[in-house]
C-alpha cells in the first residue's frame, strides 16, 4: 500500500518536476516566466495531437518540446528584445496557452492515446537499480518519462554547478552588467535558456495528456504550472531539491483518492485543496525565514538594457 502510494506520487510529481526544472533554468537566466501553465498546456495539446494523428511517440515528444519552446519564444521576444514587463508577459502567455489548447483541443475531447503510444510509455524496471529494496520499486519501476526527469535534474545540476557555461548562466541572472562586461553574450544566453525552460514545461504538459490521464481533457494542467512556479522557490533554485519538492507535491495530488478508500471522514473537496494550501504554507514559511540560499537570482524580473546602465 505505502510502496504503491509512493510510486504513484512519483508519477504524479513527474510533470511538476519537468516544469520546475524548466522554470529554474529560465529564472537562473534572470527571467521570471509566469507562463508555465500556458506552456504546459501548449505542450500537452501539441504532444497529444501529434501523438494521436501520427501514432509516433517520438514525434509526439518533439511536438511537445517545440510547442513549449514556441510559447517561451513569444515571452523571450517580448521581455528580452522588447523589454516588456515580465510579470504581465508571463500572464499573457498563460492566457494565450489556455486559448491555444482549447482551440486545438476542441476536436480532441474524448480521444484516447493509441495503444502504440501507451506501450511505448509503459513502465519498465530500470536495470540493476530496480533491485534496491523499496526504492527500486518506488523510483526505478517507472516509465521512460520518469527516468528522463531524473536525468534532466542531474544534467541541469551538473551544468549549473560544474561547468563554465553554467557559471556564465548564473552570472547572467545575478548581474547581467558584469557578465556583459566579461564578454558573455547576454541576449543569446537569455534566449537559449528561456527557450529550453519552455521546452521542458512543454514536456511536463505532454506527460499529463499522453501518459498520466491518458486522454484529452480540457484544462488538463489544472494549476500545476503555478505550483511549479512555487516549487522553484521551495527548491531554492536548486534542481536536486526540485526532485524532492515535485514528488512531495505529487503525493499531495493523489492523496485524495487514497483517503477516500480508507473511509476517513473528510470531504473530498477539502482534500482537493491540499496541494494549493500546502503551496501557500510553504511560500509563507520560506519567506519568514530569510536564509541566504533562499534568495532568487539578483537580476530576476528586470530587463537588461546595456545602454541604461
Partner 1 sequence: MFRLVKRSEISRKKSIVIRLLAILLAFTAAGILLLTLDLNPLEVYASMIKGAFGSAYRVREVVIKTVPLVITSLGIAIAFKMLFWNIGADGQILMGAFAASYVALNYGDLPRFLLLLLMFVAGALGGGLWALIPGFFRAQWRTNETIITLMMNYVALKWITYLQYGPWKDPQAMGFPKIPNFTANAVLPKLFGVHVGWLIMLLLIVIIHVFLNHTKKGYEIAVLGESENTALYAGMNVKNTIVSAIFLSGALCGIAGMIEASAVSNTLSVEVSGGVGYTAIITTWLGALKPLVILLVSLLFAALLQGGSFIQTAHGIPESTALLLQGMILFFVLGSEFFIRYRVILRKE
Of the residues 116, 185, 260, 287, which one makes contact with partner 1 according to CB under 8 A: 287
CA dist 71 and 36 (Å) reads: 9
> Of 3, 102, 144, 177, which lies in the binding site for partner 1, with binding defined by CB under 8 A?
102
CB of 221 to partner 1, least distance (A): 12
Using CB under 8 A, which residues numbered 19 to 78 contact partner 1?
34, 74, 77-78
What is the smallest separation between the CB atom of 193 and partner 1, expressed in angstroms? 21
Angle, nearest 10°, between helix axes 36-54 and 2-28? 110
Residue 293 binds partner 1, judged by CB under 8 A: no
Radius of gyration of the chain (CA): 19
Helices 144-162/164-174 angle, 10° precision: 80
If the CB atoms of residues 33 and 142 are measured against partner 1, the closer one turns out to be 33
Q: How far apart are CA 114 and CA 283, in angstroms?
A: 40
CA distances from 167 to 23, 161, 176, 247 (A): 17, 7, 12, 28
Task: Decide: is 87 part of the binding site for partner 1 (CB under 8 A).
Answer: yes
CA distance linking residue 94 with residue 225, whole number of Å? 9
- The stretch among 93-101, 162-170, 194-202, 238-246 that binds partner 1 (CB under 8 A) is 93-101
Chain residues 168-227 in contact with partner 1, contact rule CB under 8 A: 223, 226-227
Report if residue 88 touches partner 1, rule: CB under 8 A.
yes
For residue 1, state whether it binds partner 1 (rule: CB under 8 A): no
Residue 7 or 50: which CB sits closer to partner 1?
Answer: 50
CA–CA separation, 261 and 305 (whole Å): 56
Nearer to partner 1, 87 or 132 (CB): 87
**Site stretch for partner 1 (CB under 8 A), options 101-109, 137-145, 187-195, 236-244:** 101-109
- DSSP characters for 63-130? HHHHHHHHHHHHHHIIIIIS---HHHHHHHHHHHHHHHHHHHHGGGTT-B--HHHHHHT---PPTTGG
**List of residues contacting partner 1 (CB under 8 A):** 34, 74, 77-78, 82-85, 87-89, 91-93, 95-103, 106, 223, 226-227, 229-230, 233, 267, 269-270, 272-273, 276-277, 279-280, 283-284, 287-288, 307-308
Amino acid at each position: 500500500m505505502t510502496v504503491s502510494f509512493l510510486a504513484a506520487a512519483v508519477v504524479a510529481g513527474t510533470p511538476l518536476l519537468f516544469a520546475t526544472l524548466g522554470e529554474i533554468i529560465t529564472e537562473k537566466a534572470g527571467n521570471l516566466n509566469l507562463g508555465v501553465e500556458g506552456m504546459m498546456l501548449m505542450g500537452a495539446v501539441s504532444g497529444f495531437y501529434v501523438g494521436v494523428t501520427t501514432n509516433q511517440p517520438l514525434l509526439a515528444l518533439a511536438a511537445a518540446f517545440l510547442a513549449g519552446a514556441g510559447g517561451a519564444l513569444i515571452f523571450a521576444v517580448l521581455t528580452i528584445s522588447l523589454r516588456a514587463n515580465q510579470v504581465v508577459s508571463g500572464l499573457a502567455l498563460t492566457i494565450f496557452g489556455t486559448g491555444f489548447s482549447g482551440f486545438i483541443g476542441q476536436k480532441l475531447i474524448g480521444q484516447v492515446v493509441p495503444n502504440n503510444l501507451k506501450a511505448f510509455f509503459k513502465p519498465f524496471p530500470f536495470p540493476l537499480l530496480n533491485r534496491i529494496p523499496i526504492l527500486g520499486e518506488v523510483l526505478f519501476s517507472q516509465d521512460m518519462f520518469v527516468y528522463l526527469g531524473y536525468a534532466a535534474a542531474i544534467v541541469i545540476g551538473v551544468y549549473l554547478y560544474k561547468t563554465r557555461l553554467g557559471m556564465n548562466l548564473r552570472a547572467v541572472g545575478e548581474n547581467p552588467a558584469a557578465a556583459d562586461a566579461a564578454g558573455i553574450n547576454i541576449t543569446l544566453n537569455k534566449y537559449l535558456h528561456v527557450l529550453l525552460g519552455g521546452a521542458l514545461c512543454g514536456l511536463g504538459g505532454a506527460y499529463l495528456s499522453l501518459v498520466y490521464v491518458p486522454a484529452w481533457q480540457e484544462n488538463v494542467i489544472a494549476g500545476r504550472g503555478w505550483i511549479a512556479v512555487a516549487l522553484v522557490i521551495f527548491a531554492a533554485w536548486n534542481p536536486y531539491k526540485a526532485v524532492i519538492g515535485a514528488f512531495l507535491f505529487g503525493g499531495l495530488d493523489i492523496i485524495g483518492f487514497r483517503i477516500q478508500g480508507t473511509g476517513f471522514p473528510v470531504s473530498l473537496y477539502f482534500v482537493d485543496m491540499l496541494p494549493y494550501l500546502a503551496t501557500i504554507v510553504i511560500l509563507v514559511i520560506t519567506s519568514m525565514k530569510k536564509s541566504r540560499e533562499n534568495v532568487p537570482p539578483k537580476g530576476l524580473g528586470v530587463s537588461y538594457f546595456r545602454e541604461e546602465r
